[in-house]
Amino acid sequence: IGFNNGVPIDEEYFIKNIAGKHNPDIAVLLYPDDIPRGIKFMEDKEAMFRSRLASENLPPIKGLYKLTKWIDDRGLKRAAVTNAPKPNAELMISKLGLKDFFDVVILGSDCERAKPYPDPYLKALEVLKVSKDHTFVCEDSVSGIKAGVAAGMPVVGLTTRNPESVLMEANPTILIKDYEDPKLWEALEELDKRIGSSKASA
């Protein structure tokens, strides 16, 4: 397509410049001299993702439904906060059987600034009417982790897409390989204990 004089985008470049970013920002990066072309390219990319990749194969991260059950059992409020375009977000949530799980879906495009800025997470807190002190975030990209941290929330980083060393630069609270990782369940157990003791002393 003529980008970068035909030099392919490699994994390192993708992780650094594209993963988790908002499409308009990627369009400016890829086509600084022809932004309308960049926007059109991003739209085509997303349509291809929906028609080819997501419709054929979208396996859940290991342990996803164990975590959603833990959240459900405790009656916690929940939001999907994503830089993905609305049709992609809706398709993925539906494919994973999570349509009834999320109370709200917040898109980067709903906000003045998308991730890595905190705006989408701050909007989620506002819509759900919850405090950042009683919230945690799960993220798999640098821009997502940065957004959660900037919003003042503990962030669980997932190494399902990006290398641990890259994600650590964004300063997550903990890093896990998937939702079955013992580190996550130790943290959730600790959370349960704290909630139990605060109820007992109230």
Range list of H helices, 96-181: 119-128, 142-150, 164-168
pLDDT band at 198 (very low <50, low <70, confident <90, very high): low
Contact 183, 176 (CB under 8 A): yes
Element (H or E) spanning 201, and its range?
helix 182-201
Query: For 172-198, b where at least 16 C-beta lie within 10 A, e where not — what string?
Result: beebbeebebeebbebbeeeeeeeeee
Q: Range with the lowest mean pLDDT among 6-15, 58-67, 71-80, 193-202?
A: 193-202
pTM beyond 0.85: no
What domains lie within the chain, and their CATH numbers? 2-55 (no CATH), 64-201 (3.40.50.1000)
Tell me the per-residue pLDDT of 136-194, one tens digit each, with 9 for 90 and over: 999 999 999 999 999 999 999 999 988 899 999 999 999 999 999 999 999 999 988 88
